[in-house]
Structure 1
Amino acid sequence: MQPQRETPVTSVVVPFEPDTPPTPLTRLGHHGVLEHWYTDDRSTHAPHLVAVAGDDGAHWVAAALVTARPHTAYLKIVDVVGDVPKAVAAVVAHARRRKLAQVKWEGWTASPEDAATAGFTALRPPLTRPQDTAGPATGYVRWLDDEPPAAPPYYAQTTHFTCGAVTALVAQARAGTLPREALDRRAELTLWRDATNFPACEPVGLAVAVRRAWPSTPVTVHLDATGPVMLDHLPENEREWRAHLQHMSRADADRIGVPIDPHPLSAPAIRSALARRDQVLLLLSLAGMQGFDVPHWVLCHGTVPGNVVIEDSWANTATGNTWVDAHLLPVPDPLLDAMSHISADRFRGAVVIGHPRDAAGPPFASAA
């Protein structure tokens, strides 16, 4: 993408406080847009207003509502009121001052023409849209100075527990091993059923399921725990049989040739794997980005300076977080390292997927 020439814009940055909206904002009108801004509790995602003052300094000519997941390297424009080009230019300048990698823009009212003029590229819409998931039909992204990584298809998991299976499927679709049209709910639940430790997917079981589904694809587990994992939240009687399943997965891994490396993947190691054109399924805690300590699988598939670019198949729409946040999400290297320590045992787990050795066909048929 050619760098955009930007006219300097003097902006005002203030917190977004739903109970006390600033008078210059209410004077801008566009009440239908403003009403949407107050629909969700966005407080966990640092909501703030980036506004452009008029010549007299007493009123605003434009304002954007801006949010972002914590511990990431982007800003997201939820929507704009007033002079759209000036507001967007102010947000881009604000992101540059913070040395961020990217600005996104939800397409609630943004036109493709305005987005393109401001240097934004359209995101492909998600392949799935679960009934309980809200979000705009379109979205846009602008990378700041860095060459963007290729975008995989975005698939939103259709359950609360199939993130591991979805992450593996998106990796295979990105590699060309799985056709985009075969990335659907049937494939999601089929792979999850083979990988699950009920209901979550632990690293060895997920890797074994991937290898079974695509025998020609090299798969390596990185896990610095020798015993069962992701069971500490369960009562003792629920741990025993799940631990047995994990021992069975380790036996299966040994039998079909899935190596288990006891060394965790640091951010530099993830970068090295991506430089080899491998893909990394990384288990991380959502405490940093979403505020609750739940293990969750994401796909690491690209890099820009200082950040690893991930795909997250889940977004907390109750907080105004949508697929636009979760798709092509840059995370600073040290923060990704911190997020990858899971539970009180602080184990770290990942699955590295290499290139297939031959052109094996897709293991799943697309649902009717």
Structure 2
Amino acid sequence: MTTITDARLDDELRATLGETRAARWASPRAPYSPRIDVAHRDGGPVAAALTSRRGATAAVKIVDVWWRDEADTAAAAALVDEIVARAEAAGDAAVKWEVPFGQELPSFAVERGFAPFAAPHPSAPGTLGSRGYVRWLLDVPHDEAPYYAQTTLYTCGAVSGLLAAEAAGEAGFGAADASRDVPVDGRPAPSLADRDLELAFWRRASNYPAIEPVGLGVVMRETLPADVPVEVFLDHDGPVLIESYSGFERDFRVELQAESLRQGEATGVPVHRTRIAIEEIARRVAGGDLALLLIDEAPMHGETGPHWVLAHAAGEGVIVIEDPWISSDEGETWVDSHELPIAHADLDRMVAWGEAGYRGVVFVGRR
């Protein structure tokens, strides 16, 4: 077996894969550690596997597995066994498998415990072309969360909040499926009603364009029934997410945040100014709470930016999130962003924003 760690296809493997499949394998994935493992026999490739993984996460994704013919199925299965073994040695919580529409998961994958994810709500392009499967390596008992990918650069907070509402047992994305056009090939198509919901939530919570923790907590309170608790932790006394603004651009956002704080007090949303530990977030999420987390994207994507994700399960040293962002230009799909486990130490680095490193968390209870 040989390994091509930079995932550049050599001419022999490219020709063997065929033009269409080789184009998928050659898609740029540089931020996400692409790796190609190849099994050879008699001087030529008989099986190959392409994997990728986000930085600072506890999962690896099998992008594709190829084998020459039926006689080489065992070689392909051995490559998958090697991928799983490496993941276990690295302390990963899960191995995922992405299967494009038109292909099927091989039977040896089912025999090795790969189980299907529920289909995502179709939205951004990365949700439309593939099915997903997972083999959990750590014991994190939980119900699978719903998934929807943000359709704009700025609606991560709105999407995370709506996914939290859906996970909490309330209406969310997909409630108006009748408005969805289904193409003749049967593949899912985005719902205009879902996108309207995404944008309407953002308008209500926005600090233009970001959503700050108190404002998100207020709109979650407005969205959920009174018996579903909402609670905010933000270890910063002043306005947040305005570091790059001055003059009027800063002043009107400060005023909006002051209004959100007033609304929170009026509607009974507790705002704690103490820093909550990752271990406490894990304890509460494992106990059934949902946690909306303000993170810095840099550990996962190599680029700094404020971003909201939803934590919905925890166990064995990891917290499982739904990330509404898909880097589809770098080969990601919803399989990367859905049911994504992250180790406590890595999440501790992520859930901190700006030079002050403040931590914003919105807890939502379940019925």
Q: How does 1:309-348 map to 2 (within 5 A)?
A: 309-348=320-359
- CA distance in structure 1 between the partners assigned to 2:20 and 2:257 by the alignment: 52
Task: Report how far residue 26 of structure 1 moved.
Answer: 4.2
1:213 alignment partner, one of 206, 223, 244: 223
TM-score, normalised on structure 1? 0.86
Q: Deviations over 1:161-201 (max 9, x none)?
A: 11111111111211212255328223222222211111111
Q: Percent identity?
A: 37
2:79 alignment partner, one of 87, 91, 94: 87
2:152 alignment partner, one of 142, 146, 159: 159
Residue identity in the other structure for 2:3: V
Q: How does 1:192-211 map to 2 (within 5 A)?
A: 192-211=202-221
- CA distance in structure 2 between the partners assigned to 1:351 and 1:213 by the alignment: 14
- CA distance in structure 1 between the partners assigned to 2:222 and 2:89 by the alignment: 48
TM-score, normalised on structure 2? 0.86
Task: Say if 2:261 is the partner of 1:250.
Answer: yes
Provide the secondary structure at the position in 1 that maps to 2:294.
strand
Q: Which runs of 5+ in 2 are unaligned?
A: 68-72, 177-193
| Structure 2 partner of 1:5 | none
Q: Does the 8 Å CA contact 2:122/2:128 hold for their aligned counterparts?
A: no
Provide the secondary structure at the position in 2 that maps to 1:64.
strand
C-alpha distance 145-252 of structure 1, shift in aligned 2 (>3 A): closer
Task: Say if 2:47 is the partner of 1:37.
Answer: no
- CA distance in structure 1 between the partners assigned to 2:78 and 2:354 by the alignment: 45
Task: Report how far residue 89 of structure 1 moved.
Answer: 2.3
Provide the secondary structure at the position in 1 that maps to 2:332.
coil
| Structure 1 partner of 2:286 | 275
- The total of aligned residue pairs comes to 340
- CA distance in structure 2 between the partners assigned to 1:41 and 1:344 by the alignment: 32
Q: Does the 8 Å CA contact 1:71/1:288 hold for their aligned counterparts?
A: yes
| Structure 2 partner of 1:77 | 62
Q: Does the 8 Å CA contact 1:62/1:80 hold for their aligned counterparts?
A: yes
C-alpha distance 35-355 of structure 1, shift in aligned 2 (>3 A): closer
Residue identity in the other structure for 2:33: A
Q: Which runs of 5+ in 1 are unaligned?
A: 1-10, 357-368
Residue identity in the other structure for 1:69: R
Task: Say if 2:123 is the partner of 1:129.
Answer: yes
Q: Does the 8 Å CA contact 2:98/2:335 hold for their aligned counterparts?
A: yes
C-alpha distance 157-265 of structure 1, shift in aligned 2 (>3 A): same
C-alpha distance 330-93 of structure 1, shift in aligned 2 (>3 A): same
C-alpha distance 236-322 of structure 1, shift in aligned 2 (>3 A): farther
Q: Deviations over 1:12-45 (max 9, x none)?
A: 4331343xx346634644442122111x321111
Task: Report how far residue 247 of structure 1 moved.
Answer: 0.7
Task: Report how far residue 47 of structure 1 moved.
Answer: 0.8
| Structure 2 partner of 1:101 | 93
Q: Does the 8 Å CA contact 2:5/2:36 hold for their aligned counterparts?
A: yes
Provide the secondary structure at the position in 1 that maps to 2:279.
helix
Task: Say if 2:52 is the partner of 1:64.
Answer: no
| Structure 2 partner of 1:308 | 319
